[in-house]
Amino acid sequence: MDILTRFELRKIISKKSFYAGILILVAVALFLSIVLVENMQMTGKDGKFVNGVTAIRLKREYNRQLAGPLTIAAMEAAVRRHQDLLHDPDNLDKKGEMTVEANAKYDTKDNQIQFLIMYAFSPVGEYDYYLIDRINPEEMKDFYQKRLGKVQVFLSSNDSDNNYTDKEKAYFIKMNQQIPVPFQMDYVTGWENVFENLPSLFLIIAFVIGFSLAPVFAGEYQNRTDAIVLSTRYGRSKAIAAKLKASFIVSVGLIIFPILIYTFLILGVFGFDGAGAHVQMIKFLAPVPYTVIETYLWAVLIGSLACLMVGALTLWFSSRMSNSFSVIVAAGVLLVGTQFIPDSKNSRLLSYLTDMLPGNMFNGYRKITGYEVFNIGGQLIPTYKIMVVFSIIAIALLIPFTYRAFKKHQVV
C-alpha cells in the first residue's frame, strides 16, 4: 500500500463516526442473532414447549437423524412410522387423535421429512396437516413429480404477478428438471436463520459505508482544503486514486467484518450443519441446483456488491456536493426511498430497473430462490445473475466519473 493510500485510509478511520459505525454494526449483528435464538421454539420430549438454546439442540438432534438423501425409501419409512403410531391405541386420545405425549416422544423427530411430504402432496394453495395420516406410503414414488407439478401450477396461476410467457415457463420447468435428485437432507435451521436477517444487516452496512465515505471529497470542499489538495503535485492524479483505493478498502472491511460476526454468531449457536444440503430443504420450490452454502455465497456476493455500489454512489455524490451532510442525505434517500417503490405489474422494464436498485439487491436470497428472470435479446437470464453483472458495471463506471469530477473541480 502506497503512502498516499495509507494517509487517506487514516483520514477515514480516524473519525469518531467511523468507530461509531463499527459499534453499530456489531450491535446490530448481536441483536439480530439474539432475536433469532430467542424466537426458536418447539415441542420437547415431554410434550411441553421448549425455547431458545434448548429448542435448538433438540431440533438439531432430530434433524441430524434424518440427514442423507431424501429417497423414496426414506419417505416411505417416515410415513409408515407415523401411521404405525396411529394404529397403536396407547398413542391415541378419546377422539382417536395422537396424544401430545406420543407426538412429542415418537413423531416430532420426523417433522422435517413429514412437512416436505405434506407440502408436496397437499392440494395447490393448501397445506393439509392430516395428509400424512392417510396417504399411501407407495405414493412417495411421485414425490419429485408432485413438486414439479406445484412449480407448473405456480407459473400458470393468477397469483403470479410476473405474467410468465410460455418461453419463461418452459425455462423454469427445465431449470427444475435439471436439479439433481434425490435432494440431500440435513439440519439447516442455522443457515435458514442466517438468511432470515441478512437483508437487514446489508442495509445497515450500506448506511455505515455511506456515512463513512461521505466526507472523502465533500469534506475537502467543506473544510476549504480542496485548493491545497488540488494544487499539490499529485493532487489531480495519485491523490484522487489514493482516496478511491482507501474508500474501497474501508468498504470491503465494513462488509466482511459484520457478515462474519453475524454468520458465526448464528451458526455458533444453531450449528454449522446443513451447508451441503439442497437449498430446497429451506425453500422447497427454489428452481436452482444449489446447496445451502452455495446459495449463501451467492446471497453474500449480491449483497456485498450492492453495498459497494452504495459506496461508489456515495463517492460520486461526495465529488459533486459541497458538504458531507448533503451526501449523507442523498445516500439515505437512495437507500430508504427506493425501498418504497412497488413492483410494477404492468411494466417489465420498470420492474427490471427497480430490481437493480441497491435496496432491492440486499435480499439476494429471495432473488436466487425465486422465479425472476430477465429477457435480454430473447435470452433468458436469472435476475440474481444480472444483479451481479450490473453492480460490477455500475461500480466500474462510477469510479472514473468520480475521479473526473474531483479532478475537474474548480476551486472558488
User: Is pLDDT above 80 for 221?
Assistant: no
User: Is pLDDT above 80 for 344?
Assistant: no
Residue 291, pLDDT score: 97
Categorize the per-residue pLDDT at 198 as very low, low, confident or very high, splitting at 50, 70 and 90.
very high
Categorize the per-residue pLDDT at 179 as very low, low, confident or very high, splitting at 50, 70 and 90.
very high
Distances (CA, A) of 76 to 80, 107, 142, 267, 393: 6, 15, 11, 31, 50
Q: How confident is the model over 58-104, as pLDDT tens digits?
A: 899 999 999 999 999 999 999 999 999 988 888 888 888 888 888 88
Mean pLDDT for 363-384 is 91
Percent of the chain scored above 70 by pLDDT? 92
For the chain, what is the mean pLDDT? 88
Contact (CB, 8 A) for 272 and 60: no
Between CA 84 and CA 20 the distance in angstroms is 59
Between CA 272 and CA 48 the distance in angstroms is 27
Q: Worst-scoring range by mean pLDDT, 47-61, 173-187, 192-206, 342-356?
A: 342-356
The full length of the chain comes to 412
Q: Map the chain to HEC letters.
A: CCHHHHHHHHHHHCCHHHHHHHHHHHHHHHHHHHHHHHCCEEECCCCCEEEHHHHHHHHHHHHHHHCEECCHHHHHHHHHHHHHHHCCHHHECCCCCECHHHHHHHHHHHHHHHHHHHHHHCCCCCCCCCHHHHCCHHHHHHHHHHHHHHHHHHHHCCCCCCCCCHHHHHHHHHHHHCCCCCCEECCCHHHHHHHHHHHHHHHHHHHHHHHHHCHHHHHHHHCCCHHHHHHCCCCCCHHHHHHHHHHHHHHHHHHHHHHHHHHHHHHHHHCCCCCCCEHHHCCCCCCCCCEHHHHHHHHHHHHHHHHHHHHHHHHHHHHHCCCHHHHHHHHHHHHHHHHHCCCCCCCHHHHHHHHCCHHHHCCHHHHHHCCCEEEECCEEEEHHHHHHHHHHHHHHHHHHHHHHHHHCCCCC
129 or 253, which is more confident?
253
Categorize the per-residue pLDDT at 148 as very low, low, confident or very high, splitting at 50, 70 and 90.
very high
Q: Worst-scoring range by mean pLDDT, 43-52, 105-114, 217-226, 300-309?
A: 217-226
Categorize the per-residue pLDDT at 195 as very low, low, confident or very high, splitting at 50, 70 and 90.
very high
Residue 118, pLDDT score: 93
Residue 234, pLDDT score: 62
Categorize the per-residue pLDDT at 225 as very low, low, confident or very high, splitting at 50, 70 and 90.
confident
The HSE-up count of residue 229 (CA atoms within 13 Å, CB side) is: 28
Residue 150, pLDDT score: 93
Categorize the per-residue pLDDT at 267 as very low, low, confident or very high, splitting at 50, 70 and 90.
very high
Mean pLDDT for 397-404 is 92
Between CA 69 and CA 146 the distance in angstroms is 18
356 or 213, which is more confident?
213
What phi and psi values does residue 185 have, to the nearest 5 degrees? -90, 155
101 or 183, which is more confident?
183
User: Is pLDDT above 70 for 230?
Assistant: no
Q: How confident is the model over 13-62, as pLDDT tens digits?
A: 888 888 999 999 999 999 988 988 888 888 887 778 888 888 899 899 99
